[in-house]
Amino acid sequence: MKYLLTILLLITTLSSNAEVITDSTLGQNINLPGPDFQIGADLGQQHGSNLLHSFQDFNLNSSESATFSGPNSVQNIISRVTGGNPSNIDGLIRSTIPNADMYFLNPYGIMFGPNAKLDVQGSFHASTADYLRLGENGRFDARYPGDSLLTVAPIEAFGFLTNNPASIELNDSKLSVSEGKTLSLIGGNLNGNGTHFSTGEKQGIEILEKMSVSLSAESGRINLASVASNGEVIPTTTGLDFSELFQGGQINLDHSLLDTSGNGKGQIFIKGGDIDMFTSWAFIHILGEHSNSFMQIQADNLRLEASGIISLSGGAGKSADIDIKISGIIEMLPDQNDIFSENSTIETDSYGISDFGNIKLEAKQLSLEGGSQIGLSLSENSTTSIKIVDTLRISGQHPDYNLPSGIFKTAQRLRTKSEKDSLLEIEANRIEILDGGQISVLTVASGNGGTVVVKAKELIVSGILKSYTGKNGNFIALPSAIGAQSLALPTSVKDNKAGDSGNIVIEAENIWLRNGGQITNTTRSDGKGGYIELITNELIAEGQQKTGNFTFNSGLASNSLSEEANAGNAGNIKLQANRIILKDNAEIATTTANATGGNIMITIPNLVYLQDGSITTSVQGGSGDGGNILIENPQLIVLNSKGQIKAQADAGHGGNINLKSDHLITSPNSQISASSRLGLDGNVKIESPDMDIEGALVTLKGEFKEASDQIKRPCSMRGSSFFVKKINGSPQTPYDYQPAQYLPEIDNKVKTVSKNSGEKLAFSTCKK
């Protein structure tokens, strides 16, 4: 429904008769004969390398064409439409001038139909701007032709004089320019109105080929700019500059493709207010050796629904960098109508030998839902940087597939000596990772997994991905997590050592890990586990989630899960905090199946509290030693209700435990252990007074102090009573009120009271 008015307008206008009529501002007023309209240099004026044309109306039906011609000295063919009507182009625009760029300007609107085509030698720029600025002082004005100042200077800006510029419409249109050239659409609202289709089993490139709206510039550049105020749009070598205080307009892409793929460099620049993409893609596929490809998007808000912003390299050239700067909100969603089996993604990939593109993203808020993903770089030598002013929220999975929402970096090829580890940097005021959402670095090859750095004021990791039975009948469940992982290499490359798992560095004022939420580093190969380093004011981990045969404990974990003889050792955990609270099966743990356990080092000035929580470094099999545990400088360590600190081993030595605290309080069912099943036990060193919780309970003395001489009973209390009532026959407990042997003397009178429990205790009244 949102495009209904636009579509109705297109149906009406595209059915109009074709007209190409010159006005009298640059020559004669001529109604040109069709259907093949010939527009020679004699119909306009040439100023230096600029050939200028002015039309009263310009429209083409599907069977018609307009051919521009002129001398080879022409570098720019510049046309304007002044008659006040939009241009309806459903035919062919052609230029026979070698390498000449073409500018088509109509401030009253431009509409391209499904049969619109371009056959120009150079670049093509369509705009609903009011004027083109020529150099510093020249001007080619379409709204007010009399204000023009024609010069030989090149075009430097598209100028707008109103706050409501006309739109540019693409109705199932496919426009393309020659290799290495630029295709620009610069105006008010930009609408790509594509025909919906069912993706069926089609994937990848096949889906892109099905897009009914496409803008293509092979190894070239695409510019999309939408404006909603007066000012200028200035194309530069690095992007699209707007005048100061310029307002962006709407860019709506429905079943649309922006594509600058090819052997050379490709660039895409998009700038506007709100950008809404539905089943649409901005796509750059580098096949050659070029390495300066780039994709830049700047807007107020960006919404991707079953859509992608993708750079890919299949040759020796680097895949394109992606730079997205949004002042408001980025939403990434699957198809909300459940018609298309596509998630939304922003990614840079490579399946060749090239370097990998970087991703830089800035926004006020970022939301990834329903399997939406950022990253997926099969990469080393690359950086993904995400900065969010307010809230980053990652939640859920794709409705049809076992595909978690997340931000990922993946190394998936054999490492070369020149390659460096990749980096994933995320910064936000608040980060929420919910219902199976993930932030992760992964290696499935000899390249290392890289490092994930997270900075936030508040970090919440909670819940698991919903259970899912795939086509093979397997049950799948994944925790919400910030993770790093190294997987075993495929059999075909088994002679190579697997890459080490990546590292995790987190700085946050408050960290909550709940309902199975985890910060985890895992190696399932001969690669070493990476380290986890946390700096926080307060870490609270609580609870676990059980789904089918899977149990996920909330907390921090560094694991080596390979049972092979050459299994990589688990990584270390280093934690600096003011308070640590682990409850209800939450844990800080390093665990190995057949390798040496990692160490846990905790520096904390205040409190470590374990209530049915644990800090463990355990080896479950093999001859590896248990990891060491160091907790230093807290005022208080409390182990309550099965709280545990363990550094155990199987055939190797137990790890060492060193606790340095002002106070250590333990309950009878808590445990501190450094044992080994077959090897030597580790050492347990406690540098603090040991206090049993039950022994800490104090029984108050039953002595009472005579206070009658210190408290003057006010007369307002006369007639007052105090009752202690007890069920007859029940035993007394320490919590029962006990009747006194006597009452203090009040006003020189003493009222005796029976000592039998349940009697009324009455105070005397004051004398008048």
Task: Count CB-CB contacts under 10 A for residue 334.
Answer: 27
> Residue 640 pLDDT > 90, yes or no?
yes
Q: What is the DSSP letter of 145?
A: G
**Strand, coil or helix: what is 43?**
helix
The Cα-based distances of 483 to 221, 334, 549 in angstroms read: 37, 24, 21
What is the band of 146 on the pLDDT scale with cuts at 50, 70, 90? very high
For 269-314, what is each residue's pLDDT tens digit?
A: 999 999 999 999 999 888 877 667 899 999 999 999 999 999 988 7
Residue 141's φ and ψ, nearest 5 degrees, are -100, 130
> Residue 13 pLDDT > 70, yes or no?
no
Query: For residue 612, which amino acid is it?
Result: D
For 325-346, what is each residue's pLDDT tens digit?
A: 999 999 999 887 755 567 899 9
- For range 356-365, the mean pLDDT: 92
Contacts of 424 (CB under 8 A, 6+ apart): 375, 383, 384, 407, 409, 439, 441, 450, 451, 452, 453
> Residue 755 pLDDT > 70, yes or no?
no
What is the band of 64 on the pLDDT scale with cuts at 50, 70, 90? very high
Task: Give exposure, 74-97, as e/b (b: 16+ Cβ within 10 Å).
Answer: bbbbbbbbbbebbbbbbbbbbbeb
Residue keyed to tokens 């580098």: 286
Output the furthest CA–CA distance in the chain (Å, rounded): 129
Angstrom distance (rounded) from CA 90 to CA 498: 56
Closest CA to 637 of 668, 664, 615: 664
Contacts of 416 (CB under 8 A, 6+ apart): none
Q: Which of 258-272, 492-506, 649-663, 700-714 has the lowest mean pLDDT?
A: 700-714
Query: For residue 307, which amino acid is it?
Result: S
Q: Is the peptide bond before 154 cis (omega within 30 degrees of 0)?
A: no
What is the band of 210 on the pLDDT scale with cuts at 50, 70, 90? confident
For 103-125, what is each residue's pLDDT tens digit?
A: 999 999 999 999 999 999 999 99
Task: Count CB-CB contacts under 10 A for residue 314.
Answer: 17
> Do 343 and 334 touch, CB atoms closer than 8 A?
yes
Q: Which of 87-96, 205-214, 328-337 has the lowest mean pLDDT?
A: 205-214
What was the pLDDT predicted at 475? 64
Closest CA to 511 of 531, 535, 540: 540
> Residue 688 pLDDT > 50, yes or no?
yes
> Do 316 and 332 touch, CB atoms closer than 8 A?
no
Q: Which of 255-269, 365-379, 398-412, 612-626 has the highest mean pLDDT?
A: 255-269
